[in-house]
Amino acid sequence: MTSDTRWCFSPTFLGISALVNAISYQHKPGATESSVLGPFHDENSHLIGNGATIVEEGTYGEATLVRGKVRSVTGAPVKQAFLDVWETDGHGVYDLEYVDRHGDPNRRGKLYTDDEGQYAFTCVRPILRPAHMHFMILHPEYNKLITALYSRDSKYVESDTVFGVKSSLLVDYKFTKDTELAGEYGMQTFKKNIDGKQREGGASAAQDSRLDQEA
Ligand SMILES: [Fe+2]
């Protein structure tokens, strides 16, 4: 994939945003660190089943499975935590940015964790500078968490300091040849050249989150 320059954040805006974020969200030690909300959150997003997809068919990008667990800072699974996730497509563009979009939310979705605090959804691997995926996690007994998952191998993840990328929020997207797993989630696999051979599979990432409670 190549990076796309059609979309660009204003660094000044983001710098302020990161600062406000640092001041407003003081989480307890052990809780997942927060990140900027960004301008592309949209309430107009579908509730999906746990394990379903947040992308509509034909969306450009590498098919990706994201799985994780939501826990309290003490490690207890948080069931029925509400996740609101949003991301760009494989061009690095959010649905709201397409002038010709037809109105349906795409690359965004809402879902609940299961009894073990687990969640899963399929999407496309986001690209941007740096590549990231937004998460808002809500539960009546816990503090709201607005965070993001940053791709460790993103070209800009270390140099782009205005994003205030925190090392605890970096994840590895792995290419998996487990087509059975892909089938389980109804993912469309893609081919990737690895060591001179065409391999079939999909990308996957795992991210656990820890929520804290008010004192
Ligand atoms: Fe973003």
What are the distances in angstroms from CA 53 to CA 46, 65, 107, 112, 179? 10, 9, 9, 13, 17
Query: What is the whole-number distance in angstroms between the Cα of residue 215 and the centre of ligand 1?
Result: 30
Which tokens sit at 73?
A: 């800072």
How far is Cα 28 from Cα 201, in angstroms, rounded to an integer?
39
Which tokens sit at 126?
A: 């986001």
Query: What is the whole-number distance in angstroms between the Cα of residue 92 and the centre of ligand 1?
Result: 9
Query: What is the whole-number distance in angstroms between the Cα of residue 195 and the centre of ligand 1?
Result: 32
Asked if residue 210 lies in contact with residue 78, where contact means CB atoms within 8 angstroms, the answer is no
pLDDT at residue 118 greater than cutoff 90? yes
> What distance lies between CA 56 and its chain's CA centroid?
16
Q: Can you list the domains of the chain with their CATH numbers?
A: 11-209 (2.60.130.10)
Average pLDDT over the chain, rounded to an integer: 82
Q: pLDDT tens, 2-20? A: 332 222 222 233 334 444 4
How far is Cα 4 from Cα 1, in angstroms, rounded to an integer?
9
What's the pLDDT score for residue 29? 81
What average pLDDT does this structure show over 41-47? 94
Query: What amino acid occupies position 112?
Result: Y
Query: What is the whole-number distance in angstroms between the Cα of residue 71 and the centre of ligand 1?
Result: 24
Percentage of the residues of the chain whose pLDDT score is greater than 90:
41
Query: What is the whole-number distance in angstroms between the Cα of residue 38 and the centre of ligand 1?
Result: 6
Confidence band for 109, pLDDT divided at 50, 70 and 90:
very high
Question: Strands 145-151 and 170-171, how do they pair?
Answer: parallel
Query: What is the whole-number distance in angstroms between the Cα of residue 87 and the centre of ligand 1?
Result: 6
What average pLDDT does this structure show over 91-120? 91
What's the pLDDT score for residue 163? 59
Min mean pLDDT across 44-48, 131-135, 203-207 is at: 203-207
Query: What is the whole-number distance in angstroms between the Cα of residue 199 and the centre of ligand 1?
Result: 30
Query: What is the whole-number distance in angstroms between the Cα of residue 138 and the centre of ligand 1?
Result: 19
Q: pLDDT tens, 138-190? A: 999 999 999 988 888 877 666 655 555 778 888 888 888 888 888 898 888 88
How far is Cα 178 from Cα 204, in angstroms, rounded to an integer?
10
Min mean pLDDT across 101-105, 110-114, 180-184, 210-214 is at: 101-105
Query: What is the whole-number distance in angstroms between the Cα of residue 105 and the centre of ligand 1?
Result: 15
How far is Cα 162 from Cα 17, in angstroms, rounded to an integer?
9
Instruction: Give this prediction's pTM.
Output: 0.83
Min mean pLDDT across 5-14, 52-61, 193-202 is at: 5-14
Query: What is the whole-number distance in angstroms between the Cα of residue 11 and the centre of ligand 1?
Result: 13
H or E stretch covering 176: strand 174-176
Query: What is the whole-number distance in angstroms between the Cα of residue 129 and the centre of ligand 1?
Result: 9
Half-sphere exposure of 213 (CA within 13 A, CB side): 10
Query: What is the whole-number distance in angstroms between the Cα of residue 98 and the centre of ligand 1?
Result: 15
Query: What is the whole-number distance in angstroms between the Cα of residue 79 and the centre of ligand 1?
Result: 26
What average pLDDT does this structure show over 52-73? 92
